[in-house]
């Protein structure tokens, strides 16, 4: 009985931390069994942008250097193809696709060896090991109550190399896409070159999305961090990082990386 209760407590802890490791998929010849991890992104009703100037927020702010990385990786991160199934997003198809494409751009920009490649639309749904890295929408509230999105990563247990990644955005929520606006003359933060502890390098948008909606680009940029196996952060001092584990309505700031996010991607893909 004691062992049974211990197992129940362990499952609850994994769910609350937003990280669930599932059983192995069938083994691949010569490479051993494939394991799966689910990253669960939860909502949090918080201000959609910092109340103070970048670099002066409470906690670590945009210069917080935290990141989390498990060692799982792509064998070659230079050409990571992905497809989008926009059905169920509730947003115009073209805007949905543009938002997802824009979500991968900051990670590409921050790494010299990482490259995401949009391969068009697909009728496949995310969440299945089917040979396609996919982003799609579905009502997942029954399986993952309150989750905004779930990213699944399959990898070989033997060498920790990623086989496939998928992201399911929860269609039970209302989504939107708002192009970010930055303070003139900045068009978009440039993260080329090595990470630097300079607040002017990490600038958030000055606008917000529509009330009561979650921005596709904002949430998907966070999920794209999971595609390279950066983990969720839950300390309040990490709240200005893209990899902070909670998302808020109207929020756009996750669409631009902060110092810790850039340090993380540079560690995995220099």
- Cβ(129)–Cβ(164) under 8 Å? yes
Count of the separate structural domains present in the chain: 1
| Cβ atoms of 177 and 96 closer than 8 Å | yes
Which CATH number is 59's domain given? 3.40.390.10
Given a contact cutoff of 8 angstroms between Cβ atoms, the answer to whether 85 and 166 are in contact is no
Task: Please tell me the distance from the alpha carbon of residue 201 to that of residue 193, in angstroms, as a whole number.
Answer: 11
Looking at residue 29, its pLDDT comes to: 56
How would residue 155 be classed by pLDDT, with cut points 50, 70 and 90?
very high
Give the C-alpha distances (Å, rounded to integers) separating 212 from 76, 121, 187, 251.
39, 27, 26, 10
Specify the pLDDT at position 196. Answer: 94
pLDDT tens digits for 221-263? Answer: 999 999 999 999 999 999 999 999 999 999 999 999 999 999 9
Q: Poorest-confidence range of 31-35, 71-75, 103-107? A: 31-35
Question: 3-class DSSP state for residue 178?
Answer: coil
Q: Is the pLDDT of residue 92 over 90?
A: yes
pLDDT in tens, 41-91: 999 863 333 333 333 334 579 999 999 999 999 999 999 999 999 999 999
For 245, phi then psi, to 5°, come to: -80, 5
CA atoms of 136 and 85, how far apart (whole Å): 5
Determine the Cα–Cα distance for residues 247 and 45; give it in Å rounded to an integer: 8
Entry pTM: 0.86
SS3 64: coil
- What's the domain range around 73? 2-268
Identify the band that residue 23 occupies on the pLDDT scale cut at 50, 70 and 90.
low
Local confidence band at 26 (pLDDT 50, 70, 90 cut-offs)? low
Share of the chain above pLDDT 70, in %: 83
Mean pLDDT is lowest, of 12-21, 127-136, 163-172, for: 12-21
Label the pairing between strands 214-215 and 19-28. Answer: unpaired
Residue linked to tokens 């599932």: 22
Nearest to 165 by CA among 231, 224, 115: 224
The number of C-alpha atoms within 13 Å of 237 and in the hemisphere containing its C-beta is: 9
Across 7-11, 236-240, 266-270, least confident range: 7-11
């Amino acid at each position: 009985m004691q062992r049974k209760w211990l197992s129940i407590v362990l499952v609850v802890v994994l769910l609350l931390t937003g990280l669930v490791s599932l059983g192995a998929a069938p083994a691949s010849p010569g490479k051993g069994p494939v394991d799966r991890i689910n990253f669960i992104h939860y909502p949090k009703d918080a201000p959609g942008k910092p109340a103070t100037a970048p670099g002066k927020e409470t906690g670590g702010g945009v210069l917080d250097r935290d990141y989390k990385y498990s060692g799982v990786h792509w064998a070659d991160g230079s050409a990571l193809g992905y497809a989008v199934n926009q059905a169920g997003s509730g947003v115009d198809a073209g805007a949905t696709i543009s938002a997802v494409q824009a979500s991968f751009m900051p990670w590409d920009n921050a790494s010299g060896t990482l490259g995401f490649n949009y391969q068009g639309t697909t009728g496949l749904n995310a969440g299945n090991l089917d040979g396609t890295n996919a982003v799609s929408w579905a009502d997942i509230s029954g399986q993952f109550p309150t989750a905004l999105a779930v990213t699944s990563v399959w990898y070989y247990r033997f060498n920790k190399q990623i086989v496939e990644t998928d992201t399911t955005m929860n269609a039970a929520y209302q989504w939107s896409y708002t192009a970010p606006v930055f303070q003139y003359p900045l068009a978009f933060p440039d993260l080329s070159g090595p990470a630097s502890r300079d607040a002017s390098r990490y600038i958030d948008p000055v606008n917000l999305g529509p009330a009561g909606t979650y921005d596709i680009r904002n949430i998907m940029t966070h999920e794209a961090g999971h595609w390279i196996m950066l983990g969720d952060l839950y300390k309040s001092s990490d709240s200005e990082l893209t990899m902070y584990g909670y998302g808020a309505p109207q929020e756009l700031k996750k669409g631009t990386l902060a110092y810790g996010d850039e340090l993380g991607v540079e560690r995995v893909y220099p």
